[in-house]
Amino acid sequence: MNNVRALAAKTVQDVAYRGRSLSTQLPPILAQCKPRDKGLLQALCYGALRYHFRLKKILQLQMSKPLKTKDSDIESLLIVGLYQLIYMRTPGHAAVSEAVTATQALKKGWAKGLVNGVLRNCQRNLDTLQAQADTHYSSQYAHPEWLIKKLQRAWPEQWQEVLEANNQHPPMTLRINTQHHTPESYQQQLLKLQIPATLHPHSQAALTLEQPQDVAQLPGFTDGWLSVQDSAAQLAAQLLDTQASERVLDACAAPGGKSCHILERQPQLKTLVAIDSDATRLARVEENLQRLKLSATLHCADASDPSSWWNGEQFERILLDAPCSATGVIRRHPDIKLLRKESDIDELVRVQQRILEALWPLLKVGGRLLYATCSLLPSENSDQLSQFLARHPEAKEHIIAADWGVSCTVGRQILTGEAGMDGFYYGCIEKSA
């Protein structure tokens, strides 16, 4: 099958109705697609998932009864068609006729009339339908209701900005390997190629491109001059502030961007140990290290069970980029809105606590543990560290003095969109005894 709308509908169906992630579903689908159609397919999938809650509500207003579960591919096709009608410059008649044609590719020719009728009615009454749908926050901001409520409670003054930022396309940010170039000198190289980029106000190695580029075509990519990494994620290595001859642990390291950045900033470390429980993802850490010509000790292991991988020698620095709800990176992964459930949060908090407690004995007295998540929820962030400090009198907060983020009871929270950054939390604790 190579019909773009049908491929997009199948991908949206896999995410929305089968709980599969876009990052695993899309690459094999793109491989089936003609080169000229790949950009469109990607745009349709991301867009239909980004606005899924709104598009589905509009569809419900238009349909007298929902489609059966076995026809969720047709519902997904209608959502893809509706996305084109509202958010893309596709002429209305083309969006409708292409969706009708796609019913054949889905082997559901019976749905031709249904798809044609529903989309044409939507097209005729679009303003009214959107106004009716947007009386609910879930439709207006295209987010699940439970997440909106949590963000309202956590960030009563900023929640609307956060939701709007989540629906924006994220910028493409580079991390310049300062072993090769300064960000300023690489910026000049890009300018000669008419690729404008700006230095970041908070991340010392970051350059944000005005327009996304094929990273493989950028000067020196294969030679390890640069990597792609959001500027908020780049703050981890700065905050860890590693020194020569230190032993450093990067727990939950995959895909390895922070490990590599730590080594780029401080090539004189005694060692960097990077662990991750997912062998496939750990292989990506190895690939990144090889491209950047860096080395680290890798373990495929559970961070919450050091007995399976730790050699007994303590670390001066530990980075715990903890498993989390990823509510700060929704703009990059819009499928999170559909895949993450409210009931996941308590379990994630328990996992984070378990890893924190397991890693704490591995830190030397006087050492520093940097706790990070790409979550916007205090229960995973400042509340988590407040409770940890209450349980451990030998732990004290190392205050992060910074002009970015929001100061929390412990640590700092970057809200999505601030200075173009992803939503990220950082809290730093030291061992005093």
Contact criterion met (CB below 8 Å) for 314 and 247 = yes
> CA quadruple 41, 216, 251, 286: dihedral positive or negative?
positive
- Alpha-carbon span 399 to 335, nearest angstrom: 34
At 168 the three-state DSSP class reads coil
Tell how strand 247-251 and strand 226-228 pair up: unpaired
* C-alpha distance from residue 230 to each of 5, 99, 366, 369, 424 (Å): 31, 36, 30, 21, 10
SS percent in the chain: helix, strand, coil, step 5: 50, 15, 35
Tokens coding 33 = 């697609």
- Alpha-carbon span 79 to 368, nearest angstrom: 48
- Alpha-carbon span 317 to 321, nearest angstrom: 13
Determine whether 300 is an active site residue. no
**Catalytically annotated residue among 33, 252, 324, 374:** 374
Q: How would DSSP label each residue in 261-321?
A: HHHHH-TT-SEEEEEES-HHHHHHHHHHHHHTT---EEEES-TT-GGGT--S--EEEEEEE
**Residue type at 146 in one-letter notation:** W
* Residues contacting 332, CB < 8 A, separation 6+: 170, 230, 422
Residue in the block written with tokens 């509009």: 58
What DSSP element (H or E) covers 254?
none
If you count DSSP H runs as helices and E runs as strands, how many of each does the chain have, helices first? 18, 13
Closest CA to 415 of 164, 222, 238: 164
CB neighbourhood size of 314 (10 A):
15
**Residue type at 360 in one-letter notation:** W
Q: Which residues are catalytic?
A: 374
